[in-house]
Amino acid sequence: MQQALQTMLVMQDRMNTRVHPQWIGQDFAWYRALWIECAELLEHYGYKWWKKQTPDLEQVRLEVIDIWHFGLSALFASGHSIETMAADIAKQVTGFQPTGLDVREATEALALHTLQTRGFCPRRFWELMHASGLDFDGLYSAYVGKNVLNFFRQDHGYQTGSYEKLWQGREDNEHLVEILAELDNTAADYASLVYAALQARYPGAPADGSQ
């Protein structure tokens, strides 16, 4: 687990550096992105008792992955090394036993802690992860996929506004879900395979997959 945590922290640092080379020193409000992602998760899960709603669990889990991205980013404020951060996360969640919160309750508990502390609690995140039906292996493979999608967005004009998030009437996240279901997440070139599959589906992408 600790090695996988280190890998994800390294990938998150690379992604954030792509957006801003001195991202750690910018003191971005990661906590705000966290609680807003929690709200988006509830939109996909459903909270309106006055109308029929069916939870979209695939999208819920993608929102959980987005929360993890922002949570990892928030941890860098500590100034600790990646190895130390990975060890601390592992210490918090090793032997974790869910307390029985459902998705809504676990989401609210995480959002409340985030707003109160302006920080990120891996243990509260673990509660949400389990409530949504994800285990650590699922978290890892989905995180790698979403990290690749984030790089893909940057490569295709996300910051300039030219990126198209809707493909054939569906969000890129929905395409990602299908792609991840089709690929072998144990492949050595898993990240490259995800990128190539996104490129093949993206509107106007070169037929040979080049950029």
Q: Are residues 15 and 117 in the same domain?
A: yes
Residues 77-89, mean pLDDT to the nearest whole number? 94
128 plus 187 within the same structural domain? no
Residue 140 lies in a domain: no
Q: Mean of the pLDDT values across residues 141-158?
A: 90
Q: How many independent structural domains does the chain possess?
A: 2
Q: Within this chain, do residues 40 and 116 fall inside the same structural domain, yes or no?
A: yes
11's torsion region: left (phi>0), alpha (psi -120 to 50) or beta? alpha
pLDDT confidence tier of residue 205, bands split at 50, 70 and 90: low
Whole-model pTM: value is: 0.81
In-domain check, residue 162: yes
Return the amino acid letter for 195: Y
Report the pLDDT averaged over residues 107-114.
Answer: 97
Q: How far apart are CA 98 and CA 163, in angstroms?
A: 39
In terms of residue numbers, what domain contains 168? Answer: 148-211
Summarised one tens digit per residue, pLDDT across range 6-48 is 989 999 999 899 888 999 988 899 999 999 999 999 999 999 9
pLDDT band at 1 (very low <50, low <70, confident <90, very high): confident
- Residue 31's φ and ψ, nearest 5 degrees, are -60, -35
Q: Is residue 117 part of a domain?
A: yes
Say if 37 falls within a structural domain: yes
Q: What is the pLDDT of residues 97-106, one digit of tens each?
A: 989 999 999 9
Residue among 100, 125, 86 at smallest CA distance from 8: 86
User: Taking a C-beta distance cutoff of 8 angstroms, is the pair 189, 197 a contact?
Assistant: no
Residue 143: CB atoms within 10 A of its CB come to 21
Pair (102, 7) in one structural domain: yes
